[in-house]
Structures are given as structure tokens and as C-alpha cells.
């Protein structure tokens, strides 16, 4: 039979296929969603040089445009996270994609200058603030507990793919139609995704129906309710969302899958108790350092490669994909290593804390080296490692926080964490631009900005390795 590990959450027994076709389709659509989100973030860096020349912007002004993107992340991430406990992600995610499109399209107008760009980036960021935690929460409703890290890793890969695939294509659009054109292209793609999601997307069989949630909200599109089951229960197997119910194999503890934590959390907990756990605040503070690094990369890396390293715009559009390729490798590797560690009985502390800490150390060392190794392949190698190792933390941190979150509150817990994490991206573009403006030369300024990001990553590594312990903290919460 299909059993419940936590109130309101269904898990699959070991030995059954945990990723049926519909689950794979949903995770794929969510990866495309994150792919578009990262394309929206990356476009500013690609248009940086022509935009600054056209509008006469200083480095600090351009950095302020970059920082404005994350200004409302904190507020919208928390607000939508709370809504995610009650409203189907089918509607929430489609609404976010619509906001992206509305924010992008006005940039096509020539009258939109510095103030207009700040305003549209604020609106765009407001729509993208809840994107990753809500997409992660939605993916978690379609996969068993032990596959959460892998599902989160696949979503993070979508972000890297957005830059790898999108940057060269968007650069072609810039060269053909000017720096405003890519904003319109991304706005149109957001509308296309929203239509596809409304037709195919929805919540999965592990969706927890908070009180007041309607059955139509809780169940995915095309699923049939089984008589006697409450909203949020697994849909009828005939819907294709779950394989037929079977008994757990011999030796398997009823109600748990291999790699699932032993602690059974209450149906609801005070948020202050969840947020007081080292797993939550350790993931948030370590994530802040990664967010700082990503804000620096997305806003300033193309300009650095063009103006400091001497690469052409066409070459830059290809080179900015190197960290994304590295991110895909690091994220998938960390996800697979974590999955294997958990299968072999390793602690959550090792899987979700130590593994990403190693990645952060590698990233910090590489960023220190980036401005000191000279041009050519040494620079590109340091850049690829420095900006790609850290993102391995994100899916593992999300999975760790999910371990200490009751299903009814998981969306809000993840969204609140994401809100604080992304303050790093709010500050780093502007602070880095200010550092460059105030330095004796741009070269000295960029070196200082890279060194600051490196130090933060090393601090984040120490926090991840010592504070993220979901085994201990879930047991503490379960015991009351």
C-alpha cells in the first residue's frame, strides 16, 4: 500500500518507479520555468556595455539597475510562499510568468531610460522572487522524499541551461535589433510558458491540502479524486500520477522509504521554531553568500570579460555559459552524490551540509585566483569553477529545509528562506559597481569585488558544514 510518512504527505515504497511519466513532464516544465527566470536575470549583463553607452550610465548606476531586480524578492517570496500553502501552484506559477512578461515588454519602448529600467526590473524581480522556492515546492509534490535533492538539482540545471542556450541567441538579437530586443523576446516566451503550464501543470499527489483548499486546487490537472480521499491525497492510479498501490517490501519500515528521515513532524509547527533551527538559518546564511556571488556574475561578469579580459561581445556571449555548464555539472554531481550517500545510510548532515561546503570552498579559492592567474585558459578555468561550484548548495539546502518543514508549511518555509537569501543579489551588483567606481582603476576595483565574493563563499562553507543538520533538527522538532 501507499503509506504516509508525514501528515498529509504520501510516499512511495522502495522498489517502485518513483518518477512516472507525468512526474517527469512536470519537472521538465518546471525546469523550463527556471530556465526562463535565469534568462531574465542574465540579459542585463549581456546588454550592459551597449546600454551604458546608449544611456550614459556610470558603473554605480548600472549596478543599481542590477540590484533593483532583487529589491522586492523578500516581500513577494514570503507572500507567495504563504499563498503556496493554500492555492494550487498551477495558478501561482502561471501568474508569475505573466508578471515577467508584463515587466519585460515595456523596455522595447525607446522612452524607457534609467528610471524606467529600474522600475521594470523591480517588477520583474517581484515576479521572480518566489519562482525557485515555489517551483521546488511543486516538484516536491511529484516525487518521493528521497528524490527531492535530485528533483531540486534538475530545476537548478534549468537555470544554467537558460544562460548556456539563451546568451548566444540573445546576443544575436542584440546585434541584429539592438539591446532592447531581448527583453521583448523573453517577455513573449513567458506568455508561451504560462499557457503551456495552465494546460499541463498542477500540483502532484504529495500536495498537502491546507484547510480551506478546494479539491480542484489540490489535485493536478487530469487527476481523478478517489471516493473517500481528502484533497491532497494521491490521485487515483488511473490518472497516471502514481503507479498501482503495493505493499512495502520485506524489511522496509511501513510509512518510510529508503533514505527518508525517521522523525515524523507534527502537522503544523510555529514558524519561529522552524526558523530557529540551525538547518534553516545555516542554509539561509550560506545561501546569502552564493546569492552575492550570483548577483556579481549575472550583472558584471560579461562587462569584466569584455573590458578587462579583452574578449569580443560575441565571444563573451559564449564564455558566460562556462559557469552555467560548470553549475550543471556541480549541481547534478552533488545531487547524485547526495542521493547515493543517503541510500548508503549517510547522515543528512554529511549529505546536505558537508557536500555543499566542499563546493563552496572550491568556488571561493577559484574566485581568489581569477584576477591573479592572467588571461587565457587559466582565467576561464578559474571563472568557470568560481562561479559554478557554489550553486550546488541551493538544491541541497532546499531539500534540507524541506526535512524540517511540515508539508502544510513547506512552501512558506522555503519561500521565506529564499527571500533572505536573495538579499545577497540585491546588494552585490550595486556594491560591486560602487567598488569599481571608487577604486584607483577599474582593474583594482574588479579584483576587490571578486575577493569580497570569495571571502563570503568561504564563510558560507563554514556555516553549511557546521549548521545544516536536518537529522538532529527534525528530531528536535518532532519531539516537541
Residue 46 lies inside a defined structural domain of this protein: yes
Residue 4 lies inside a defined structural domain of this protein: no
Determine the Cα–Cα distance for residues 252 and 392; give it in Å rounded to an integer.
31
Phi, psi of 10 (to 5 degrees): -100, 140
The position carrying cell 556571488 is 293
Looking at residue 142, its pLDDT comes to 84
471: CB partners within 8 A, 6+ apart: 261, 263, 347, 348, 349, 403
Determine the Cα–Cα distance for residues 449 and 431; give it in Å rounded to an integer.
8
Residue 138 lies inside a defined structural domain of this protein: yes
Grid cell in block for residue 366:
577559484
Looking at residue 149, its pLDDT comes to 73
DSSP 138-196: HHHTTS-GGGHHHHHHHHHHHHHHHHHHHHHHHHHHHHHH-TTHHHHHHHHHHHHHHHH
Looking at residue 207, its pLDDT comes to 60
Looking at residue 1, its pLDDT comes to 39
Looking at residue 245, its pLDDT comes to 30
Residue 322 lies inside a defined structural domain of this protein: yes
227: CB partners within 8 A, 6+ apart: none
Determine the Cα–Cα distance for residues 258 and 249; give it in Å rounded to an integer.
11
Looking at residue 233, its pLDDT comes to 33
Range of the domain at 202: 19-244+270-479
Residue 251 lies inside a defined structural domain of this protein: no
Looking at residue 48, its pLDDT comes to 84
Give me the helices (H) in 387-441, please: 393-403, 410-421, 423-438
Residue 339 lies inside a defined structural domain of this protein: yes
Distances (CA, A) of 98 to 102, 123, 231, 450: 6, 11, 27, 35
Assess contact for 119 and 104: CB atoms under 8 A. Answer: no
Phi, psi of 270 (to 5 degrees): -60, 135
Grid cell in block for residue 43:
540579459
Looking at residue 228, its pLDDT comes to 32
**Entry pTM:** 0.70
Domain CATH number, residue 358: 1.20.1250.20
Residue 11 lies inside a defined structural domain of this protein: no
Residue 10 lies inside a defined structural domain of this protein: no
Residues 245, 251, 256, CA angle at the centre, nearest 5°? 55
Looking at residue 14, its pLDDT comes to 42
Give me the helices (H) in 219-275, please: 271-275
**Through-space distance between the first and last CA atoms of the chain, rounded to whole angstroms:** 29
SS3 426: helix
DSSP structural state of residue 143? S
Assess contact for 71 and 118: CB atoms under 8 A. Answer: no
Digitized pLDDT (tens) for each residue of the chain, 480 residues in all: 344 444 444 444 444 445 778 888 998 999 999 988 888 877 888 888 889 889 988 888 988 898 888 778 777 877 777 777 677 888 999 999 999 899 988 898 888 888 999 999 999 988 887 888 888 888 888 887 777 777 877 887 777 777 788 888 888 898 889 999 999 999 999 999 999 999 988 877 766 544 444 333 333 333 333 333 333 333 433 333 333 333 333 333 333 444 455 468 888 899 999 999 999 999 999 999 999 999 899 889 988 998 888 888 888 888 988 988 888 889 889 988 998 898 888 899 999 999 999 999 999 999 999 989 987 899 999 999 999 999 999 989 998 999 999 888 887 898 889 888 988 988 899 999 999 999 999 999 999 999 999 999 999 999 999 999 999 999 999 886
Domains in the chain: how many in total?
1
Amino acid at each position: 500500500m501507499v503509506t504516509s510518512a508525514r501528515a498529509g504527505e504520501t510516499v512511495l515504497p522502495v522498489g517502485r518507479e518513483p518518477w512516472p511519466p507525468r512526474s517527469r513532464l512536470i519537472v521538465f516544465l518546471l525546469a523550463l520555468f527556471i530556465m526562463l527566470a535565469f534568462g531574465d536575470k542574465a540579459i542585463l549583463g549581456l546588454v550592459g556595455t551597449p546600454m551604458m553607452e546608449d544611456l550614459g550610465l556610470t558603473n554605480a548606476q548600472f549596478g543599481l539597475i542590477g540590484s533593483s531586480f532583487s529589491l522586492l524578492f523578500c516581500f513577494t517570496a514570503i507572500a507567495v510562499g504563504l499563498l503556496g500553502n493554500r492555492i494550487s501552484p498551477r495558478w501561482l506559477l502561471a501568474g508569475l510568468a505573466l508578471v515577467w512578461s508584463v515587466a519585460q515588454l515595456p523596455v522595447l519602448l525607446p522612452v524607457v531610460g534609467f528610471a524606467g529600467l529600474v522600475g521594470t526590473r523591480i517588477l520583474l524581480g517581484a515576479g521572480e522572487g518566489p519562482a525557485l522556492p515555489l517551483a521546488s515546492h511543486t516538484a516536491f509534490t511529484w516525487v518521493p522524499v528521497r528524490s527531492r535533492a535530485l528533483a531540486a538539482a534538475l530545476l537548478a540545471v534549468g537555470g544554467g541551461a537558460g544562460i548556456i542556450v539563451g546568451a548566444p541567441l540573445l546576443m544575436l538579437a542584440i546585434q541584429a535589433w539592438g539591446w532592447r530586443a531581448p527583453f521583448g523576446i523573453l517577455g513573449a516566451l513567458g506568455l508561451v510558458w504560462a499557457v503551456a503550464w495552465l494546460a499541463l501543470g498542477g500540483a502532484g499527489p504529495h500536495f498537502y491540502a491546507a484547510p480551506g483548499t478546494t479539491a480542484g486546487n489540490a489535485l493536478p490537472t487530469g487527476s481523478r479524486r478517489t471516493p473517500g480521499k481528502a484533497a491532497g491525497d494521491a490521485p487515483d492510479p488511473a490518472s497516471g500520477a502514481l503507479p498501482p498501490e503495493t505493499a512495502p517490501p520485506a524489511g522496509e519500515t511501513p510509512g518510510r522509504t529508503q533514505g527518508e528521515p525517521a522523525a515524523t513532524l507534527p502537522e503544523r509547527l510555529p514558524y519561529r521554531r522552524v526558523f530557529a533551527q540551525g538547518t534553516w538559518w545555516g542554509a539561509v546564511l550560506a545561501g546569502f553568500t552564493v546569492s552575492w556571488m550570483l548577483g556579481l556574475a549575472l550583472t558584471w561578469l560579461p562587462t569584466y570579460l569584455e573590458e578587462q579580459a579583452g574578449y569580443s561581445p560575441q565571444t563573451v556571449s559564449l564564455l558566460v555559459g562556462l559557469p552555467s555548464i560548470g553549475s550543471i555539472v556541480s549541481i547534478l554531481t552533488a545531487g547524485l552524490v547526495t542521493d547515493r550517500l543517503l541510500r548508503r545510510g549517510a547522515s543528512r548532515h554529511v549529505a546536505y551540509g558537508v557536500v555543499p561546503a566542499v563546493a563552496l570552498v572550491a568556488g571561493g579559492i577559484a574566485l581568489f585566483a581569477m584576477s591573479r592567474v592572467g588571461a587565457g585558459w587559466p582565467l576561464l578555468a578559474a571563472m568557470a569553477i568560481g562561479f559554478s561550484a557554489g550553486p550546488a548548495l541551493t538544491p541541497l539546502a532546499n531539500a534540507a529545509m524541506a526535512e524540517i518543514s511540515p508539508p502544510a508549511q513547506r512552501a512558506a518555509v522555503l519561500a521565506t528562506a529564499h527571500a533572505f537569501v536573495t538579499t545577497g543579489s540585491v546588494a552585490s551588483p550595486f556594491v560591486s559597481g560602487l567598488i569599481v567606481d571608487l577604486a584607483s582603476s577599474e582593474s583594482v576595483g574588479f579584483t576587490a569585488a571578486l575577493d569580497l565574493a570569495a571571502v563570503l563563499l568561504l564563510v558560507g562553507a563554514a556555516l553549511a558544514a557546521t549548521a545544516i543538520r536536518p537529522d538532529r533538527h527534525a528530531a528536535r522538532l518532532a519531539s516537541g
